[in-house]
Amino acid sequence: MRAWAELLRVSALFTVPGDALAGAAALGARPNRHTALAVGASLCLYEAGMALNDWADREEDAIDRPHRPIPSGRISPQAALAAAGVLTAAGLALAARAGRPALAVGTALAATVWSYDLRLKHTAAGPAAMGAARALDLMLGATATATAGGSGGGDRGAAGHTSPRTEGRSRTVGTDTGAGAGTGAGAGPWAGLRTALPSATLLGAHTVAVTTVSRQEAQGGSTAAPLAALVATGVLGAAAGGLSRGGVSDAPRRATGGGPPTAPAVAGALALVYAGTAGRPLLHAALNPSPPLTQRAVGGGIRAMIPLQAALAARGGAVGVALGVMGLVPLARTFARKVSPT
């Protein structure tokens, strides 16, 4: 069990559910049954990528990381490859349950994961491929959620039904009433992709920065990569704290005087948490690019996914979802002490 936990990087799993939840929030929609299916698909495809990554890197790890499960002999290469295949199939099956559009996005995500691990990882396109995978993961959540709302699926309550006059609109004012409420959700899954694109772009850009740093984590010696990632973190944090759903009023979600903070205020605070989580270890790695500090910077970048996802959810007006995502932080920290996320 310990070997499989290391192979699958279970401590990094807590950075995955927020992708789909941020995608749903980008639509101004409550998470629904299809969102849960997207989360399950994301978890399976993420773990498939972890198993495939170690299978593909088994010869390199025998030199740089002989303690890893495959080079140490605790897990056979055949078992790791089989696990990657089974987890990919399970992820696509769950995506299919969320609808054909979600399956299409899930298939693109799976293809990106396999292409990265088997071909693109050691090329100049590697970081971009990883960024695309995270962006697609967020869009998988948006597509699945919008499929439930836009196709008249059974996830909407009586208050969530759309009137004939608004059924065809590309945008409806979000009132947090059900799966079909909010920008993009009532217009169907493909319109939902466009609505979720700004959030997906920010998450993908953060992933590109972290992946670029991770290329030096075994050898160290690069000051430029962590410094560039540090600058990117500041830019992305500012964008996440100020990103709003275009054309949709936040008024239904704003607190009145004396109540809890508004969604923009929560998003701004979470963006600061994101910047601090990713930025501090990146600064240390830029000042001293040793392998241990570089690995710590990569781990900080992975953990920073959670407050970034939460900030994006809050900017969509889903403050409760954002706080729920942040509840994964202590779990990720606890598991990281037992199993490294890198």
- Give residue-wise pLDDT tens across range 102-144: 999 999 999 999 999 999 999 999 999 999 999 999 999 999 9
The pLDDT value recorded for residue 261 is: 62
What DSSP designation does 66 have?
Answer: T
Using pLDDT thresholds of 50, 70 and 90, give the confidence band for residue 309. very high
Q: How much is the pLDDT for 16?
A: 98
Q: State residue 180's pLDDT score.
A: 39
Question: Residue 259 phi/psi, 5° resolution?
Answer: -90, -165
Mean pLDDT of 2-12: 94
pTM equals 0.85
Q: What is the pLDDT of residue 266?
A: 95
Whether residue 159 has pLDDT greater than 50: no
Question: What pLDDT sits at residue 186?
Answer: 53
Determine the pLDDT at residue 168. 37
Which of the pair, 217 or 281, is modelled with greater confidence?
281
Of 218 and 85, more confident = 85
Rounded to the nearest 5 percent, the helix, strand and coil shares of the chain are 70, 0, 30
Report the pLDDT value the prediction gives residue 149, as an integer from 0 to 100: 64
pLDDT-based confidence at 158, cuts 50/70/90? very low
Which domains are delineated in the chain? 2-152+181-338 (1.10.357.140)
Question: pLDDT digits over 234-276, tens only?
Answer: 999 999 998 644 433 343 343 334 445 689 999 999 999 999 9
What pLDDT score does 155 carry?
38
- The more confident residue out of 168 and 5 is 5
